[in-house]
């Protein structure tokens, strides 16, 4: 059995020299069950997505997740090879990762993540 550890996202100090205003409203998203950090607002590519449980974000990067089995899913914009992603601490399903797109115009999603809003929360 492997020993796991969590990576945490830190906000820049408010009085730090050279901090741009885009970090002033940095939101950190975590698992709603255990509050393990998963991503932040500066990794959002789009807020205009729908997941199984409702609204979702397309993210460039997530942390502290494990990947499930690969499978092909039919979605509104085409067929994709995806895998579900789970919080690595409590194993809560938090979204999925796009592994491969059938359509060339959807290839920008490959390697990106969907975080569903229902199983995540904003962390302090």
The ranges assigned to domains in the chain are 3-123
**What pTM, to 2 d.p., does this model score?**
0.86
Beta bridge partners of 49: 56
pLDDT band at residue 69 under the 50/70/90 scheme:
very high
Fold topology of 3-123: 2.170.150
Percent of the chain clearing pLDDT 90 (strictly above): 78
For 73-93, what is each residue's pLDDT tens digit?
999 999 999 999 999 999 999
Residue found by looking up tokens 């090879």 in the block: 81
């Amino acid at each position: 059995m492997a020993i796991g550890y969590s990576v945490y996202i830190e906000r820049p100090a408010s009085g730090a020299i050279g901090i741009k205003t885009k970090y002033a409203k940095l939101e950190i998203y975590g698992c709603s069950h255990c509050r393990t950090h998963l991503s932040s607002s500066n990794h959002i590519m789009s807020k205009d997505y729908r997941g199984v449980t409702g609204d979702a974000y397309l993210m460039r990067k997530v942390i502290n997740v494990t990947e499930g089995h690969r499978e092909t899913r039919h979605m509104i914009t085409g067929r994709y090879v995806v895998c579900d992603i789970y919080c690595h601490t409590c194993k809560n399903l938090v979204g999925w990762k796009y592994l491969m797109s059938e359509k060339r115009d959807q290839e920008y999603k490959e390697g990106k993540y969907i975080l569903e809003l229902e199983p995540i929360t904003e962390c302090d």
